[in-house]
């Protein structure tokens, strides 16, 4: 890995998709007693997650968390965190250490929402897929002097190469567009049948429009709803690339050091959905990424306009239905194809390693303006040189023209001779 000094350069600042003010204002450590933390996880029952656990808890599935790193010592994540990688140049090489000057706990919170194990059968925080594994990939977030775009592209490829079937990205570029390096990385994920889950971002933290990676075709973009299942104003953003909606208010997650944090935002909604994706993949190992995503959106409950709208996407998530309902197989990802988008909107790039055979062009002087080899008589001889180098077609035209001219001269002279004979 490159050190931070080598990696520092001006680039796009990647932000976490969480309203910071909400975390700082109400995010003091929550005192846990008995089942208070588990009881606070209202989404487990209300969104069908507990019911889905009667089929599977996500065993055998790996969820890559591209974020600020994961504290693997947290009791609620014991046995759930695989050795990952650090792309920031500042953390543990396994991704087991929170990185960043601010919000370093973000990655641990996200991981706990996806695959927390709890501290016991009814104690501590449990994720949507408690049988799944977390692959932590730490990157730098929120630093304009660091090339986070490159770190993310490298992390996506690493996740694919190290067995992740799901990638969670609770972050935003805060722009609709994305760098071409993401074209390659996300295409690589799609080609290897990996589902990418991305947070839509939050209006409360300045993301008024959904930003990349949540704008990329093929990505499962997650918007947020409140306790009543209504689209959240501050703890979500809206846009035409939203696929699904999940709880983003009144959340609680496990933080580094073994404490808990109350928080809000699509940073928490996304890993809930990533965990449900893991449940679907475990229950239906024969399905490709397109059909896994289709099960998620096809079984959602409409809350806005029938079929689709930019607030809820295809609806509010239902984990039990996504795992167990009868859903017809589809041939294409309902969230689109990145490969098709690239073919239409990216200009063709010529491989510099493939060079065409050079064609040697010998410059020819302009016969009407430049001197020829005939010296001072060049301009006089130029028309003759032009005829000499002309093709057969040109010569035929010239000959025909000369013939017409000769016939005209003959006719004029004959007429003149007739006048004189009178």
Alpha carbons 329 and 170: distance in angstroms, whole number: 29
Alpha carbons 334 and 26: distance in angstroms, whole number: 37
Alpha carbons 350 and 104: distance in angstroms, whole number: 41
Give me the catalytic one of 71, 106, 236, 237: 106
Contact criterion met (CB below 8 Å) for 300 and 261: no
Q: Both tokens of residue 326? A: 């009868």
For the residues of 41-99, what is the DSSP string, one character each?
Answer: -THHHHTTHHHHTTT---TT-EEEEEES---TT-GGGTTTB---EESSSSS-TTS-S--
Q: Is residue 162 flagged as an active site residue?
A: no
Give me the catalytic one of 205, 237, 248, 267: 267
Contact criterion met (CB below 8 Å) for 82 and 62: yes
Q: Is residue 67 flagged as an active site residue?
A: yes
Q: Is residue 324 flagged as an active site residue?
A: no
Give me the catalytic one of 67, 71, 86, 149: 67
Sign of CA dihedral 378, 380, 384, 389: positive
How many residues are listed for the chain in this entry?
422
Contact criterion met (CB below 8 Å) for 111 and 77: yes
Decide the pairing of beta strands 251-255 and 244-247.
unpaired
| 3-state DSSP percent of the chain in helix, strand and coil, to 5 | 35, 15, 50
For the residues of 141-161, what is the DSSP string, one character each?
Answer: -S-TTB-HHHHHHHHHHHHHH
Alpha carbons 300 and 351: distance in angstroms, whole number: 44
Residues tagged active-site? 67, 106, 267
């Amino acid at each position: 890995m490159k050190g931070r000094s080598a990696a520092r350069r001006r680039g796009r600042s990647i932000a976490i998709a969480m309203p910071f003010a909400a975390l700082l204002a109400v995010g003091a450590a929550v005192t846990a007693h008995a089942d208070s933390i588990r009881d606070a996880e209202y989404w487990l029952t209300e969104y069908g997650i507990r019911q889905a656990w009667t089929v599977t808890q996500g065993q055998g599935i790996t969820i890559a968390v591209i974020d600020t790193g994961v504290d693997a010592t947290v009791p609620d994540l014991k046995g759930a965190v695989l050795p990952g990688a650090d792309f920031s140049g500042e953390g543990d090489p396994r991704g087991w250490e929170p990185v960043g000057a601010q919000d370093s706990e973000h990655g641990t919170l996200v991981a706990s929402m996806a695959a927390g194990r709890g501290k016991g059968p009814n104690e501590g925080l449990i994720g949507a897929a408690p049988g799944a594994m977390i692959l932590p990939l730490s990157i730098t977030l929120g630093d304009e002097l660091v090339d986070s775009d490159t770190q993310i592209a490298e992390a996506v490829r690493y996740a694919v190469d190290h067995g992740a079937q799901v990638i969670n990205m609770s972050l935003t570029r805060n722009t609709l567009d994305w760098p071409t390096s993401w074209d390659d990385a996300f295409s690589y994920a799609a080609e290897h049948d990996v589902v990418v889950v991305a947070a839509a971002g939050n209006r409360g933290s300045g993301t008024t429009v959904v930003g990349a990676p949540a704008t990329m075709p093929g990505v499962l973009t997650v918007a947020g709803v409140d306790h009543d299942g209504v689209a959240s104003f501050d703890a979500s953003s809206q846009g035409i690339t939203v696929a699904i909606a999940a709880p983003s208010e009144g959340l609680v997650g496990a933080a580094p050091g073994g404490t808990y944090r109350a928080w809000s935002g699509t940073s928490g909604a996304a890993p809930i959905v990533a965990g449900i994706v893991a449940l679907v993949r475990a229950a239906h190992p024969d399905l490709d990424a397109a059909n896994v995503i289709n099960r998620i959106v096809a079984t959602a409950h409409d809350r806005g306009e029938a079929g689709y709208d930019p607030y809820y996407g295809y609806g509010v998530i239902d984990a039990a239905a996504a795992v167990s309902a009868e859903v017809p197989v589809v041939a294409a990802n309902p969230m689109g194809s990145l490969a098709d988008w690239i073919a239409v909107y990216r200009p063709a790039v010529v491989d510099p390693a493939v060079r065409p055979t050079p064609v040697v062009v010998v410059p020819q002087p302009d016969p009407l303006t430049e001197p020829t080899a005939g010296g001072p008589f060049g301009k006089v001889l130029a028309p003759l040189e032009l005829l000499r180098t002309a093709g057969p077609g040109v010569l035929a035209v010239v000959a025909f023209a000369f013939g017409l001219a000769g016939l005209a001269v003959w006719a004029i002279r004959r007429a003149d001779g007739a006048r004189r004979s009178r």
